[in-house]
Structure 1
Amino acid sequence: MRIGELAAKTGVSVRALRYYEEQRLLTSERSPSGQRVYADSAVDRVWMIQHLYAAGLPSRSIEPLMPCVISGEVTPELLERLRAERQRIEDRIDDLVKTRERLDSILSVASAYEGRTCPR
């Protein structure tokens, strides 16, 4: 299928599909006229890429996972990478919770002075 058809089937922009190829997340063949041609399996692959992005993984972390995604083989290396990414996300969540708590504290103090000038 051509790039426009893949974009329509997956809901991903043509520009994003080109980016996936640049990042080595997706591959295509070229027609005699130079147009990209994708296998039918590219639809599932794009959906997997989208799920990994939605989970917070950057393309540099997704790229090494793609051989396992293609083969379906779960290797110790794959599990290690996924666990490391999960921990990275967990650490980020912890940082965001701390930031929210600090902001809540500031809001609590500031709301006591709403409409007035805060003491310095």
Structure 2
Amino acid sequence: MRIKELAERTGVSARLLRYYEQQGLIEPRREENGYRSYEEPQVERVQQIRSLLDAGLTTEIIRAVLPCLAEAANSCYPAPDFVDRVRQERARMAERLDGLQKNLQAIDDYLDAVVGER
């Protein structure tokens, strides 16, 4: 598929897709005319990248972690410093998640009090 179709299917602009390519997060195949061509698995990969970015990870960390996510059981994380960094990011994400869950509960409590339903 071409970049426009990938953009439409993932909800990510073509500009961002080119940025992901520059950052080494996705790797399109180049056709003879120079056009980018993406395989079906790239749809899920772009969605995974978006999710990790939304969680607050940097593209640098995502670039290092992404190849390992599919093989997490094989522990392909190379350096102890990197593992520590990923642990720190995970702890930060868990903190954010806890805050979001508390906010969600507060909103649910408000809706229950105001309208008796969610």
Q: TM-score range by the shorter chain?
A: 0.5 to 0.7
Inter-partner Cα distance in structure 1 for 2:15 and 2:60:
18
Per-residue CA shift, 1:54-103, capped at 9, x if unaligned?
1100101111012113xx11116289353221235578x6xxxxxxxxxx
Select which of 77, 80, 84 maps to 2:88.
84
- In structure 2, the residue matched to 1:7 is 7
The DSSP-based 3-state class of the residue aligned with 1:21 is helix
- Which has the larger displacement, 44-53 or 60-69? 60-69
Identity of aligned residues (%): 43
Partner in structure 2 of residue 36 of structure 1: 36
RMSD: 2.2
Paired positions, count: 90
> TM-score with structure 1 length normalisation?
0.67
> How many Å separate the matches in 1 of 2:66 and 2:45?
9
Counterpart CA distance in 1 for 2:20 and 2:89 is 19
C-alpha distance in structure 2 between counterparts of 1:35 and 1:3, whole Å? 8
SS of corresponding position for 2:71: coil
Q: In 2, distance between residues paired with 1:39 and 1:51? A: 20
Equivalent in the alignment of 1:73: 71
Aligned AA (2:3): I
Corresponding residue of 2:63: 63
Higher-Rg structure is 1
Which residue of 2 is the match for residue 23 of structure 1?
A: 23
